[in-house]
Structure 1
Amino acid sequence: MIFMRYESFRGYLRMYPVTACIIALNIVYFIIVELSGIATDDYNYHLYKYGSFYTDTSIDPFGLKEPWRYVTSMFMHSGFMHLLFNMFSLLVFAPPLEHLLRKVRYGVFYLLCGILANAFTALMAVLLGDNGVHAVGASGAIYGVYGAFLYIALFRKAWLDEGSRKTVYTILIFGLIYSVITPQISLWGHVGGGLAGFLLYSSFDRAMVRRKRIR
């Protein structure tokens, strides 16, 4: 089972520095936002001030007037349990992908998944006639990690043991069901992140195969 973590704290930092850095950034930014007077402000407006992803379909349907929000929102969370669940998911599931892609490629992959998850959420708001989007959280990028493992489970089965493949399928099935039945969760962010991860990893996989053939 590749999703079992046996490393020591130092070993984890040494082997998976990008994942460790992402987790640290999420925790530090959560503390900053929580300690900055949230009790005195409207909750959503407070998150908006600190970089949540926001669109208004009438004047800025894709949030391009403040494009940095595509990235800053990935490191924000709407409560301690939201942060805890996402960081646990990163802690457990991201390391094998960082090992497969290597540090720089994995960092680019993670950021692109989060950005594309936000873009897909904005697109669906436009298509469905919603007023806009207000979103925070690392889950879009995390579903990108799940999407990558779905590709591996389907097309590179030899890389995963049976238990790991079943874990990937179970997480995605129950995660999507939970996203549908829980109004506060961004279904389209999860779907967009998963699709982005699946497609991005497939392109990385093809590129790695071509390089091996050239050698």
Structure 2
Amino acid sequence: MIDFGHILLFVAIVSPLAVLFRTARRGGDPGWRRVALLVLFVTGIAWFFRPNYAGFVGGAAWFLLLFLPAIVFRKAAELARIGRFGGARRALGLLRPLHPAAGLREHVAFIDAMETQWRTRGVLQPFSLPRRNSIFGDPAAAIMPGVMTFVTLNVAMFIAEIALGGSTNSRTLHRLGALEPYPVLAFGQYWRLITAPFLHYGSLHLFLNIFALYYFGRTLESAIGTLRFMIVYIVAGIGSCAEVALLWRFGWLHADQLVGASGAVMGVVGAWAGLLLRDRREALASQRLQHIASIVVIQTVFDIITPQVSMAAHLGGFTTGLLAGFALAPPRRTREPAALGI
């Protein structure tokens, strides 16, 4: 079973390092560097004295000092954008104990400038912020039919798991179609290549995959269309399972039972890489390819240090999605709106 504390520890280390790398490379508010270092320090102290609880301590520090301020800063800007300046200032006031004063002063000054413009001109357009729902761009809508279809299917299958014996019951997962290489190759149960990506081992496993699907999937679906997106997702899921089965067949991998949508989600990321490689001269293509490379590296490192996670499934899904992105990419003009996102 996936250890929640292990995941939190990974986040509490990787996320601050990413903040340090980004601020060192692009500059910006030095307050973020200080809080990132503080999160790493707290996590390190917890690991030294209580390693079994280091993930929870570091995760709490990450949530309070990095994640929560980022969300509140964005919310304050959105409140100011619609003229609710008092609410924006109250939101920033909640962060005084959690974030360095310099960062808060910068955001307060931004809101003051917006309010001044609102009072003098009655408009806010020059200060309105682009939505950044994904590192790949801004989806055309908050809810995309393809993404919601797969979210619904994953949740429905999870409910079926619970009703039939439990989501961590290996016999239940076997009956519902978990990937088991021996039955697939020896008895031709190839349908397991399709069903396994819709099953999950526990609620945490389901939540993480649905979150990733929602985060990455909406932008891809907006760019290539619902039908192409659904094909990419299904093909990537099958490809990830097929790679696991083949590696097992040649004795390079030991996996008795495998479930989860993460291979298909990595296929979504791979499809984006395929689209961007086809249109390397597109605005921000190089930057987004770097983001994709960082996702693959972080995911691979996590797979290596987490025995319960299948690196083969993730890389197989990514590779299949990459090829699908090349094959199914629509004409460039139909992807132009999504390419404008930042």
Offset, 1:203: 1.6
Deviates more, 1:44-53 or 1:138-147: 44-53
Deviates more, 1:163-172 or 1:80-89: 163-172
Equivalent in the alignment of 1:49: 175
Equivalent in the alignment of 2:112: none
Structure 2 length-normalised TM: 0.52
Structure 1 length-normalised TM: 0.81
Q: Distance in 1 between matches of 2:194 and 2:297?
A: 27
SS in 1 for 2:142: helix
Q: Distance in 1 between matches of 2:221 and 2:256?
A: 30
* Preserved CA contact (<8 Å) 1:3 1:164: no
* Preserved CA contact (<8 Å) 1:113 1:196: yes
**Residues 132-171 of structure 1 aligned to structure 2 (within 5 Å):** 133-157=256-280, 158-160=282-284, 164-171=288-295
| Unmatched runs of 5 consecutive residues or more in structure 1 | 210-215
SS in 2 for 1:78: coil
1:21 paired with 2:149, answer yes
1:178 paired with 2:302, answer yes
**Residues 57-68 of structure 1 aligned to structure 2 (within 5 Å):** 60=183, 62=185, 65-68=188-191
1:90 paired with 2:208, answer no
Equivalent in the alignment of 2:142: 12
Q: Distance in 1 between matches of 2:193 and 2:184?
A: 13
Offset, 1:93: 0.4
1:63/1:107 CA distance change after superposition, 3 Å: farther
Q: Distance in 2 between matches of 1:101 and 1:32?
A: 32
What amino acid does structure 1 have at the position aligned with 2:134? F
* Preserved CA contact (<8 Å) 2:273 2:325: no
1:101/1:62 CA distance change after superposition, 3 Å: farther
SS in 1 for 2:257: strand
Equivalent in the alignment of 2:312: 188
Q: Distance in 1 between matches of 2:287 and 2:160?
A: 39
1:72/1:148 CA distance change after superposition, 3 Å: same
* Preserved CA contact (<8 Å) 1:117 1:193: yes
Offset, 1:68: 1.7
Equivalent in the alignment of 2:134: 3
SS in 1 for 2:190: coil
* Preserved CA contact (<8 Å) 2:274 2:324: no
1:159/1:91 CA distance change after superposition, 3 Å: farther
1:113 paired with 2:113, answer no
How many residue pairs match? The answer is 199
* Preserved CA contact (<8 Å) 2:236 2:263: yes
| Unmatched runs of 5 consecutive residues or more in structure 2 | 1-131, 333-342
1:33/1:204 CA distance change after superposition, 3 Å: same
Offset, 1:43: 2.2
* Preserved CA contact (<8 Å) 1:53 1:136: yes
Q: Distance in 1 between matches of 2:284 and 2:331?
A: 18
**Deviating 4+ runs (over 6 angstroms):** 4-7
* Preserved CA contact (<8 Å) 1:62 1:119: no
1:116/1:35 CA distance change after superposition, 3 Å: same
